[in-house]
């Protein structure tokens, strides 16, 4: 039985592209098929954004071909927003949906003409045919629910007010508008370059679910491993200027990659072992060389000239060894803070203990960065008290990059020109320290203007970490980092001998490193949860289930009954009602047992790791079981009241 092959939509064929003398892509080929959900990964500088721009037609390759299916619509979310800054949010959203709105307008006009026509049958039939054609076009474009979709996008992505000009928006606000624009366009191939940068966790979850349901094809560059695990059916890795394709999601990719690396290591080990054996034979210097010996020599030359497996330079986050924390580290007591009439934090308490790594999540603008500043003592709260231990030294890595002067040397930027740096009674040689961040020692005298954006970001991180500290405070540290660097950062934080406060939208990152979570829930409420991001999701699911159960179990208002007429006979229980009353206690016990059983299943470890449908069905069962218990109790009271007369 043959398997249908998905239709190819966009092909990159034997592409080569360079920046200066440095090749980025070398003979790269890849095809995007209908239904593809491709995760494009690779180290910073490997050419991911370049490949995406070539697919989008925003760049022309030096050599090779980009082929598209006829009439193919492609839209790309770039790192830099190309939208007109003089236009308002509402204007650009309607521009994105212009084709769909035009179809709807044309359909309504045609319908009005058809309803008002009094002409002959031929013209009536022609109008009817035009209406049908437009109806099919509207359906194909998914335009019927356009107003609802625009409303959902505004809410889900937390877009700025419609009358705001794009030029007045922050970088994060602008990026969310650009993302909404791309999603509204509904292209055949959607290209997303880091769609979750500057997006809060709940918005990231919404985008993930959107992509799972999206009818078109998608190629995305992301460091969000939940995206790669749940919304992707193929991983393409860019490595050493070449492309490697792996079927499946991120978990499958890790399995494939481990096998590939093992095979490479074995091949290199065998090559080296062969060379050692042949070299030993060669040095013995046999007097007579036979044709067989000649063949061995040729094989030796061939294996010797073979390129060894290319290895990446190792990258580490070098954090100078911190001083030991004291008994008192950091305490927040009844902290309330905000701006103007807005209260961001209300009656917040926190006691940090050694080894705590606290993740902070919440909608954009909810006050996460403000909380960090208050806890470090950089901003005074309206009410409450902050106690910072005598030995506590904050190491703050914020989202802003240091002011860079193009003519300033790397050494001046990182260490104020000093080649040696003293921290925690330890002397650090700065050029050697920078090697851990993948910079050669001779780069220290280079001007900052010669470096790429990614290199500047790494240097800024190196500069901040060089200051040292025993309490890490990280504000969105995962933005602009590739997957490999993220894994190194995770290991560094996990092994850090101190405390950490981390604002991040990266759900996988929070799961790997956090011991506690702080959740901004609105109206100044910040909830503390023991555990990682998965534990927060479990808390959220339980709270939502309880809320629904309480709402369903709330007694409905009873209709007013007319007072019984004087002398009316009192109602007595029927035979069936007597039997029902006798068995009521047993029925209630059985119903309560069912609630307990379902509740235990839901609170069991791993419950929320099951499929979404399974989880929702079980939660619905619990809700219905609780309602059943409430209903039985109400019926019991009613029957007893009748019996009592």
Both tokens of 374, joined, read: 């208050």
Q: In DSSP terms, which residues pair with 67 in a beta bridge?
A: 11
Using the structure block, give the residue that is written with the tokens 């007595």: 572
Where is pLDDT greater, at 313 or 318? 318
Taking the model in full, what pTM does it have?
A: 0.69
Does the residue 204 lie in any domain?
yes
- When computed from its CA atoms, the radius of gyration of the chain, rounded to whole angstroms, is 33
Q: In DSSP terms, which residues pair with 75 in a beta bridge?
A: 190
The rounded distance, in Å, linking the Cα atoms of 423 and 496 is 16
pLDDT at residue number 639: 81
Where is pLDDT greater, at 227 or 179? 179
**Within this chain, do residues 338 and 229 fall inside the same structural domain, yes or no?**
no
Angle subtended at Cα 220 by Cα 217 and Cα 223, rounded to the nearest 5 degrees: 150
| 408-417 confidence digits (pLDDT tens) | 999 999 998 9
**Within this chain, do residues 501 and 431 fall inside the same structural domain, yes or no?**
yes
Where is pLDDT greater, at 546 or 367? 367
The rounded distance, in Å, linking the Cα atoms of 55 and 61 is 10
Of 139, 170, 201, which closes a domain?
170
CATH number of the structural domain spanning residue 210: 3.40.50.300
**Within this chain, do residues 376 and 461 fall inside the same structural domain, yes or no?**
yes
Question: By CB neighbour count within 10 A (0-12 exposed, 13-18 middle, 19+ buried), where does 582 fall?
Answer: exposed
Does the residue 322 lie in any domain?
no
**Within this chain, do residues 337 and 413 fall inside the same structural domain, yes or no?**
yes
Does the residue 592 lie in any domain?
yes
Residues 6+ apart with CB under 8 A from 612: none
Where is pLDDT greater, at 234 or 486? 234
**Within this chain, do residues 508 and 460 fall inside the same structural domain, yes or no?**
yes
> What residue ranges in 319-442 does DSSP mark as E strands?
330-339, 342-352, 357-361, 383-388, 394-397, 420-423, 426-429
- Phi and psi (nearest 5°) for 35? 85, 0
Does the residue 150 lie in any domain?
yes
Where is pLDDT greater, at 535 or 242? 535
Q: In DSSP terms, which residues pair with 426 in a beta bridge?
A: 423
When mean pLDDT is compared over 52-61, 575-584, 589-598, 630-639, the highest value belongs to: 52-61
The percent of residues above 70 in pLDDT, for the chain, comes to 84
CATH number of the structural domain spanning residue 583: 1.10.287.380
**Within this chain, do residues 49 and 196 fall inside the same structural domain, yes or no?**
yes
Does the residue 264 lie in any domain?
yes
> Sorting pLDDT into bands at 50, 70 and 90, what band is 610?
low
**Within this chain, do residues 516 and 586 fall inside the same structural domain, yes or no?**
no
When mean pLDDT is compared over 7-21, 37-51, 303-317, 332-346, the highest value belongs to: 332-346
**pLDDT > 60? residue 241:** yes
> What residue ranges in 7-138 does DSSP mark as E strands?
8-19, 22-33, 37-42, 63-68, 74-77
> Sorting pLDDT into bands at 50, 70 and 90, what band is 514?
very high
Does the residue 539 lie in any domain?
no
Does the residue 54 lie in any domain?
yes
> Sorting pLDDT into bands at 50, 70 and 90, what band is 288?
very low
**Within this chain, do residues 244 and 257 fall inside the same structural domain, yes or no?**
no
Where is pLDDT greater, at 168 or 451? 168
Q: In DSSP terms, which residues pair with 395 in a beta bridge?
A: 472
The percent of residues above 90 in pLDDT, for the chain, comes to 32
Query: Chain-centre distance of CA 336, in angstroms?
Result: 30
**Within this chain, do residues 380 and 488 fall inside the same structural domain, yes or no?**
yes
The rounded distance, in Å, linking the Cα atoms of 589 and 629 is 9
Q: Is 603 helix (H, G, I), strand (E, B) or coil?
A: coil
Q: In DSSP terms, which residues pair with 30 in a beta bridge?
A: 12
**Within this chain, do residues 149 and 295 fall inside the same structural domain, yes or no?**
no
Lowest mean pLDDT among 86-90, 269-273, 428-432, 610-614: 610-614
Domain that holds residue 300: 253-305
Q: For residue 237, give the H/E element and its range.
A: strand 234-239
Cα distances (Å, whole numbers) of residue 87 to 150, 162, 168, 169, 174: 17, 10, 10, 11, 12
Does the residue 182 lie in any domain?
no
**Within this chain, do residues 243 and 274 fall inside the same structural domain, yes or no?**
no
**pLDDT > 50? residue 352:** yes
Where is pLDDT greater, at 482 or 224? 224
- Phi and psi (nearest 5°) for 61? -75, 155
- With beta carbons less than 8 A apart as the criterion, state whether 195 and 78 touch: no
- With beta carbons less than 8 A apart as the criterion, state whether 608 and 537 touch: yes
pLDDT at residue number 309: 53
**How many residues are present in the chain?**
645
**Within this chain, do residues 525 and 623 fall inside the same structural domain, yes or no?**
no
Structural domains counted in the chain: 5
Cα distances (Å, whole numbers) of residue 327 to 201, 357, 385, 525: 34, 17, 18, 28
The rounded distance, in Å, linking the Cα atoms of 406 and 460 is 14
Query: Chain-centre distance of CA 357, in angstroms?
Result: 20
| Mean predicted confidence (pLDDT) in 614-638 | 74
């Amino acid at each position: 039985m043959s398997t249908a092959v998905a239709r190819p939509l966009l092909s990159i064929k034997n592409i080569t592209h360079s920046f200066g003398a440095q090749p980025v892509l070398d003979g790269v080929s890849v095809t995007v098929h209908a239904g593809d959900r491709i995760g494009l990964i690779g180290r910073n500088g490997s050419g991911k954004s370049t490949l995406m721009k070539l697919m989008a037609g925003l760049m022309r390759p030096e050599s090779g071909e980009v082929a598209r299916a006829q009439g193919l619509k492609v839209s790309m979310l770039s790192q830099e927003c190309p939208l007109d800054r003089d236009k308002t949010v509402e204007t650009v959203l309607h521009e994105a949906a212009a084709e769909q709105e035009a179809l709807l307008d044309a359909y309504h006009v045609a319908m009005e003409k058809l309803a008002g026509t009094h002409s002959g049958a031929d013209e009536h039939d022609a109008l009817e045919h035009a209406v049908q054609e437009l109806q099919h076009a509207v359906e194909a474009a998914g335009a019927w629910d356009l107003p609802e979709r625009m409303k959902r996008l505004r809410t889900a992505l937390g877009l700025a007010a419609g009358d705001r000009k794009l030029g007045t928006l922050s970088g994060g606000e602008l990026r969310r508008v650009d993302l909404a624009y791309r999603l509204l366009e509904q292209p055949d191939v959607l290209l997303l370059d880091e769609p979750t940068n500057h997006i809060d966790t709940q918005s990231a979850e919404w985008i993930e679910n959107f992509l799972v349901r999206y009818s078109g094809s998608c190629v995305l560059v992301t460091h969000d491993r939940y995206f790669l695990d749940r919304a992707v059916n193929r991983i393409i890795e860019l490595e050493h200027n070449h492309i490697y394709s792996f079927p499946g999601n991120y978990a499958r990719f890790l399995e494939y990659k481990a096998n590939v690396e093992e095979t490479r290591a074995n091949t290199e080990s065998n090559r080296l072992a062969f060379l050692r054996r042949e070299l030993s034979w060669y040095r013995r210097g046999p007097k007579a060389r036979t044709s067989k010996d000649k063949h061995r020599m040729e094989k030796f030359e061939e294996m010797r000239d073979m390129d060894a497996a290319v290895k990446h330079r190792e990258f580490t986050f070098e954090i100078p060894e911190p001083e030991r924390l004291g008994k008192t580290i950091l305490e927040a007591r009844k902290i309330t803070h905000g701006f103007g009439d807005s209260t961001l934090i209300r009656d917040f308490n926190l006691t940090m203990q050694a080894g705590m790594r606290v993740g902070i999540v919440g909608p954009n603008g909810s006050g996460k960065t403000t909380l960090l500043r208050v806890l470090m003592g950089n901003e005074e709260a309206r009410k409450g008290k902050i106690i910072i231990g005598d030995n506590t030294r904050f190491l703050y890595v914020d989202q802003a990059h240091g002011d860079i002067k193009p003519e300033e040397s790397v050494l001046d930027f990182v260490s104020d020109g000093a080649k040696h740096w003293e921290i925690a009674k330890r002397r650090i040689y700065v050029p050697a320290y920078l090697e851990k961040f993948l910079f050669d020692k001779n780069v220290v005298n280079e001007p900052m203007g010669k470096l790429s954006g990614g290199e500047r970001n790494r240097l800024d991180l190196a500069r901040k970490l060089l200051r040292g500290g025993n309490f890490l405070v990280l504000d969105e540290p995962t933005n602009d980092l590739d997957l490999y660097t993220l894994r190194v950062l995770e290991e560094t934080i996990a092994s850090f001998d101190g405390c950490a406060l981390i604002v991040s939208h990266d759900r996988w990152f929070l799961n790997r490193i956090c011991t506690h979570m702080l959740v901004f829930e609105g109206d100044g409420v910040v909830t503390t949860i023991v555990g990682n991001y998965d534990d927060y999701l479990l808390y959220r699911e339980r709270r939502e289930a309880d809320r629904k159960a309480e709402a369903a179990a709330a007694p409905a208002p009873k209709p007013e009954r007319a007072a019984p007429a004087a002398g009316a006979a009192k109602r007595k229980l029927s035979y069936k009602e007597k039997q029902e009353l006798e068995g009521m206690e047993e029925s209630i016990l059985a119903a309560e047992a069912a609630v307990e059983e379902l509740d235990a299943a839901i609170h069991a470890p791993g419950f929320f790791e099951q499929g979404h449908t399974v989880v929702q069905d079980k939660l619905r069962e619990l809700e219905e079981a609780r309602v059943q218990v409430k209903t039985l109790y109400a019926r019991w009271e009613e029957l007893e009241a009748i019996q009592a007369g």
